[in-house]
């Protein structure tokens, strides 16, 4: 392993979180996945949270965390609209590693209000309706999952879409006050698939059926060969958006949601 960074104080107390992120990013380039996660754990004090959707990339990261028994919280956002196959790989992963993965569910009152307002599948009516659903089922639960965290580990890859082209190993999420760690930032999908095969990691059965990026069942479809990876997410929207808001500025999203709520 290359040089491991010295442990820091909690990020909230660190004077130079952006310098720490730069140091981590520079160090990570030459490390394998196991080493990258171990280096992040060693360098960042406090709580590290890994949010998994049990997709290919997250399963690779989960294996590297769980097989090394790293002190990292594993969390999933149970939106209430996940595929049965996602629940299957969730259960299989818990059995394989003997570890419970914490589920964060939407706030009951917010969800009831959303369904009252837009109906069960009202997210198809407009981009704003879809964003409102993602906000209640995903963004607000994510904010709860990350409350008090010093770092957030995600499965983002730079080559997934143009929205993600600038993804680095480590960056500062100033709105949330934490360091974001993307250990697969420079990986391809094929490399993640090879990793899961090499280590016998459980994967979502939907991948074999053309589902590349897997989210909620009503908002995910299989993609044809040659289509962009995230073309199967919210494909009916004309704006070409393929993000749900989890990786956007949460303060901006909160302000937008409040604005829309005031208008409705
Ligand atoms: Fe709602 Fe679809 Fe977003 Fe899931 S992906 S939270 S069902 S709009």
Alpha-helical regions (H) of 153-264: 189-198, 250-263
Cα three-residue angle 223-191-232, rounded to 5 degrees = 15
Q: Is 219 a catalytic residue?
A: no
**Chain segment 30-71, per-residue pLDDT in tens:** 999 999 999 999 999 999 999 999 999 999 999 999 999 999
Given a cut of 70, whether residue 264 has pLDDT beyond it is: no
Pocket lining: 133 vs ligand 1, CB cutoff 6 Å:
yes
What number does the ligand 1 atom closest to the CA of 136 have? 6
- Domain range summary for the chain, segments of one domain joined by +: 46-263
- Which CATH code for domain 46-263? 3.40.50.620
Pocket lining: 138 vs ligand 1, CB cutoff 6 Å:
yes
**This prediction's pTM:** 0.86
Given a cut of 50, whether residue 261 has pLDDT beyond it is: no
C-alpha span between 171 and 92 (Å, rounded): 32
Q: Residue 198 C-alpha to ligand 1 middle, in angstroms?
A: 33
Given a cut of 90, whether residue 242 has pLDDT beyond it is: no
What number does the ligand 1 atom closest to the CA of 133 have? 1
- Nearest C-alpha neighbor of 177 from the set 138, 155, 153, 148: 148
Q: Residue 223 C-alpha to ligand 1 middle, in angstroms?
A: 18
Given a cut of 70, whether residue 143 has pLDDT beyond it is: yes
**Chain segment 111-134, per-residue pLDDT in tens:** 999 999 999 999 999 999 999 999
What does the pLDDT read at residue 58?
98
What number does the ligand 1 atom closest to the CA of 215 have? 5
Which neighbouring-strand residues pair with 75?
Answer: 51, 102
CB contact at 8 A, 180 and 173: yes
CA atoms lying within 13 Å on the CB side of residue 99? 17
Active-site hit among 133, 134, 216, 244: 244
Q: Residue 199 C-alpha to ligand 1 middle, in angstroms?
A: 32
**Chain segment 171-218, per-residue pLDDT in tens:** 999 999 999 999 999 999 999 999 999 999 999 999 999 999 999 999
CA distance readout (Å), 44 to 5, 157, 170, 180: 9, 21, 11, 11
């Amino acid at each position: 392993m290359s040089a491991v960074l010295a442990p820091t104080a909690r990020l909230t107390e660190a004077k130079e979180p952006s310098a720490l992120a730069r140091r981590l990013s520079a160090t990570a380039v030459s490390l394998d996945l196991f080493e990258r996660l171990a280096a992040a754990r060693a360098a960042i004090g406090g709580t590290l949270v890994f949010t998994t959707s049990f997709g290919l990339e997250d399963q690779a990261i989960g294996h590297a965390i769980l097989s090394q028994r790293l002190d990292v919280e594993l969390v999933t956002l149970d939106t209430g609209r996940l595929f049965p196959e996602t629940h299957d790989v969730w259960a299989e992963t818990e059995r394989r590693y003997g570890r419970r993965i914490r589920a964060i569910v939407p706030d009951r009152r917010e969800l009831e209000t959303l369904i009252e307002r837009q109906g069960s599948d009202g997210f198809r009516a407009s981009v704003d309706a879809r964003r409102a659903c993602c906000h209640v089922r995903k963004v607000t639960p994510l904010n709860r999952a990350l409350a008090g965290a010093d770092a957030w580990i995600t499965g983002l890859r730079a080559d997934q879409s143009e929205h993600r082209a600038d993804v680095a190993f480590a960056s500062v999420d100033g709105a949330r006050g934490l360091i974001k760690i993307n250990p697969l930032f420079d990986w391809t999908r094929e490399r993640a698939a090879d990793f899961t095969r090499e280590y016998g990691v459980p994967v979502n059965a939907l991948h074999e059926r053309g589902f590349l990026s897997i989210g909620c069942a009503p908002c995910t479809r299989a993609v044809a060969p040659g289509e962009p990876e995230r073309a199967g997410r919210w494909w009916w929207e004309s704006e070409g958006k393929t993000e749900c808001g989890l990786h956007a500025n949460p303060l901006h999203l909160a302000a937008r949601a409040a604005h829309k709520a005031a208008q409705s």
